[in-house]
Amino acid sequence: MATAFKVKPTHKPVKNYYAALATYADQSVEHEGALRSAFQNLLSETGRKVRWDLIPELSLNANCLRRISQDGS
C-alpha cells in the first residue's frame, strides 16, 4: 500500500501550477488544452512522492469496439 501523502497549497508543485495558471490568465488564455501541461506537471510531481508515474494520453480498448484515451493514468 502506498504511503499517505497530503498535498498542501504551500507545496512547490502546487505553487508552480498556480503560477502557470496566472501566466495563462495574464495572456487571456482560457481554453482547456492550455491547462493540460500545467496539470500534468502537477500530477507528475506530486505522484512521484508516492512512487507513481504519470502516463499521459494512454489509449485503451473499450469493449473491443473503440479506443478511448485518458488524459492520464
Identify the pLDDT of residue 6: 87
- For residue 7, tell me if it sits in a domain: no
Instruction: Read off the C-alpha cell for 50.
Output: 508516492
Number of independent structural domains in the chain: 1
Residue 3's pLDDT band, with cuts at 50, 70 and 90, is: low
Domain span at residue 46? 12-23+35-69
Residue 9 to residue 27: CA distance in whole angstroms? 24
- For residue 4, tell me if it sits in a domain: no
Beta partners for residue 59, in sequence order: 69
3 neighbors 47 (Cβ within 8 angstroms): no
- For residue 30, tell me if it sits in a domain: no
Identify the pLDDT of residue 53: 87
- For residue 58, tell me if it sits in a domain: yes
Residue 16 to residue 40: CA distance in whole angstroms? 12
- For residue 59, tell me if it sits in a domain: yes
Residue 57 to residue 30: CA distance in whole angstroms? 21
* More confident: 68 or 55: 55
With a pLDDT cut of 90, the percent of the chain lying above it is: 42
- For residue 48, tell me if it sits in a domain: yes
Q: What is the DSSP letter of 51?
A: T
Candidate from 25-29, 52-56, 66-70 with smallest mean pLDDT:
66-70
Identify the pLDDT of residue 63: 67
